Structure 1
Amino acid sequence: MSELTTPALAGAVAGLGVAMPMGAMSVLLLQEAMRHRRAAVAAAAGIAAVDLGYAALATALGPWVASHVSPVEAWVRLASAAILLAIAAHGIAKSRRRPELSPPPDPSAPAAGRIPGPGTGTGSRPGPGAAPRPAKAFARYVGLTALNPTTALYFAALTTAQGAALRTGPAGAAFLLGVGAASLLWQQALVGLGALAGSRISDGARAWTFRLGYGLVAAYAIKIALPLP
C-alpha cells in the first residue's frame, strides 16, 4: 500500500503546487461563483481537467525520457529542479507586483471595468434566466486554462525528474489520482469561497496564495534535486 501512497501524496503536492497560486483563472472562477455557482462548479472541473491532462501527458513521457538518459540521471534531476525553482521564483516575484494579479479581459465583456453577465448584452449582473450552461462553462475554462504553457512545463520537469518512480502503471495512476484530486478540491474550494464572499478576494490574500503555492513548488524542486550529482 505504501508503494502507492507515496506517489499519490507526491501527486497531491504537485497538484496543489500548480493550483494554489491565484492568478487570472482563479479570479475569473471566483467571479463566476459570485454570479452562478452551478456554472462555476463546472468551470472548476474544467481547470482541474486540464491540470490532470497535462500531468497525464507528462507522466506518460517522463519515464520514457528518464529511461533513455539514465547515465546522466542525476543531472536530469538537477536540470528539472532548476526549471521548477525558476517557475517558483517567477511566481513569487509576480505576487509582489499587484497590478499583474488582475484578470485578463473577459472576451464576453462589453465594456472595460464591468463584470459581464454571460449571455447578456450589458455589464450588469444577469438575471436567473441568463445563467450559462455548465457544459459551456466547462469547455470555456478548459480552453482558457490550456493556453497556459507553464502548467505543461511544470509537470514535464517534475515527472521527468522522478521518471523511475513513476515507471510502473499503478504508481503513475496513483500520482495522477493525487494531482487530479488536489487540483479539483482546491478549485471547488475557490467556488465555495466565491459563492459565500460576494466580493473579490483581497490582493494581499491572493499574494499569499502565490507564496504558499510556489513555496510548495520550490520545496519539491529541492527534494528531487537531492542527492546532488
Structure 2
Amino acid sequence: MNELMTPALAGAAAGLGVAVPMGAMSVLLLQEAIHHRRTAVAAASGIAVVDLGYAALATALGPWVASHVSPVEAWVRLASALILLTIAAHGLTRSRHPPTSKTPPGPGPNPAPPALEARGAGRSPGGRGAAGGASRPVKAFARYVGLTAVNPTTALYFAALTTAQGATLGSGAAGAAFLVGVGAASLLWQQSLVALGALAGSRISDTARAWTFRLGYGLVAAYAVKIALPLP
C-alpha cells in the first residue's frame, strides 16, 4: 500500500498543478455556476475527465505525445484562442441585456424568491422545460470536454511530467495510483470552484451579477489573446 501512496500523491500534486491556475476555463466554470449549479457540476466533471484522459495518455505515451503535439502547438493555440474569443464576444453581448429575476406583479399569492426562480427556470414538470433542464448538464459536460481538450498545454504538461517520472510509473499499479490522484485532485478543485460560484450567485443582485459576467468574459478574451501569442 505504501508503494502506491507515493505515485498517488504525485498524481494529486500534478492534478492540482494543472487545475489550480485560474485560466479561462476556471472563469467560464465560475460563470456557469453563478447561472446554474447543476450544469456547472457537469461542466466541472468534464474538465476533470479531460485532465484525467491527458494524464492517462501521457502516462502511456508521454514522449510520443510531446514530440507530436509540439510541432503544431502554435496552430492549436490559435484555434483555442478563436474559440475563446467567440465565447467571450457572445457572453459580452448577452450581458448587455441580462435576464431579470424579478417576478411581475400578478394574482398569485407569494411570488418565488429570485434565487429560487432562477434555479427553477426551465424545469416545468412534464413540459419542454423539464426536457431542456435534463439535457443541459449533458450538453455542458460535452462542451467543456471539447473546450478543455483543445488546449495543448495540458497534454504537454502531463507528457513532460510523466516522462520525468520515468521508472516510478513503470508498473501498472503505480500508474493507476498516479491517475487516481490526478483525477481526484482535479475534480475536487473544479467542484470547489462550482461551490464558490454558486454561493456568490445566490447572494448578489442582478446588476452585480451582470457586471461579474462582463468582467469574467473580459478576462476570457484577454486570456485568449495571451495564449494566441506568439502567432504561428
Q: Provide TM-score, normalisation by structure 2.
A: 0.62
Query: Closer, same or farther in 2 for the Cα pair 1:38/1:133, shift >3 Å?
Result: same
* Correspondence for 2:94 among 114, 127, 139: 114
C-alpha change, 1:108 and 1:140, in structure 2 (3 Å) is farther
| Aligned-pair Cα RMSD in Å | 3.0
- Of 188, 191, 195, which residue of structure 2 is paired with 1:188? 191
CA distance in structure 2 between the partners assigned to 1:15 and 1:145 by the alignment: 14
Is 2:77 the partner of 1:124? no
Q: Equivalences for 1:144-163 in 2 at 5 Å?
A: 144-163=147-166
1:115-164 CA-to-partner distances (Å, cap 9, x unmatched) read: 49xxxxx7536770175611110000000000110000000000011120
For 1:188, the aligned partner's letter is Q
Structure 1 contact 24–104 (Cα < 8 Å) conserved = no
Residues 45 and 115 of structure 1, relative CA distance in 2, 3 Å threshold: farther
Distance in 2, matches of 1:115 and 1:147, equals 26
Q: Distance in 1 between matches of 2:89 and 2:137?
A: 16
Structure 1 segments unaligned to the other structure (5+ residues): 66-99, 117-121, 207-229
Alpha-carbon distance in structure 2 between the residues aligned to 1:154 and 1:58: 9
Q: SS of the counterpart of 2:87?
A: coil
1:140 aligned partner, one-letter code: R
Tell me which amino acid in the other structure corresponds to 1:106: I
2:168 to 151, 165, 171: 165
With over 3 angstroms needed to count, the CA separation of the structure-2 counterparts of 1:108 and 1:49, relative to structure 1, is farther
Give the partner amino acid of 1:39: T
5+ residue gaps in structure 2?
65-80, 101-117, 123-128, 202-208, 220-232
Q: What amino acid does structure 2 have at the position aligned with 1:151?
A: T
Q: Write the distance in 1 (CA, Å) between the matches of 2:59 and 2:198.
A: 34
Q: Tell me how far apart the structure 1 counterparts of residues 93 and 22 of structure 2 sit (CA, whole Å).
A: 20
* Equivalent residue for 2:146, pick from 143, 146, 149: 143
Secondary structure of the residue that 1:114 maps to in structure 2? helix
Aligned counterparts, 1:1-40, within 5 A: 1-40=1-40
- After the TM superposition, which residues 37-48 of structure 1 pair with which residues of structure 2 at under 5 Å, given as runs? 37-48=37-48
Equivalent residue letter for 2:35: R
CA contact 1:32–1:40 (8 Å) conserved in 2: yes
- Taking the aligned partners of 1:53 and 1:114, their CA distance within structure 2 comes to 33
Q: Which residue of 1 is the match for residue 53 of structure 2?
A: 53
What is the deviation of 1:197?
Answer: 1.1
Q: Which amino acid aligns with 2:99?
A: S
Q: Deviations over 1:163-213 (max 9, x none)?
A: 20001000000000000000000000000000001254999xx9xxxxxxx
CA distance in 2, matches of 1:108, 1:174: 41
- Aligned residue pairs total 162
The answer as to 2:200 corresponding to 1:197 is yes
Amino acid at match of 1:134: P
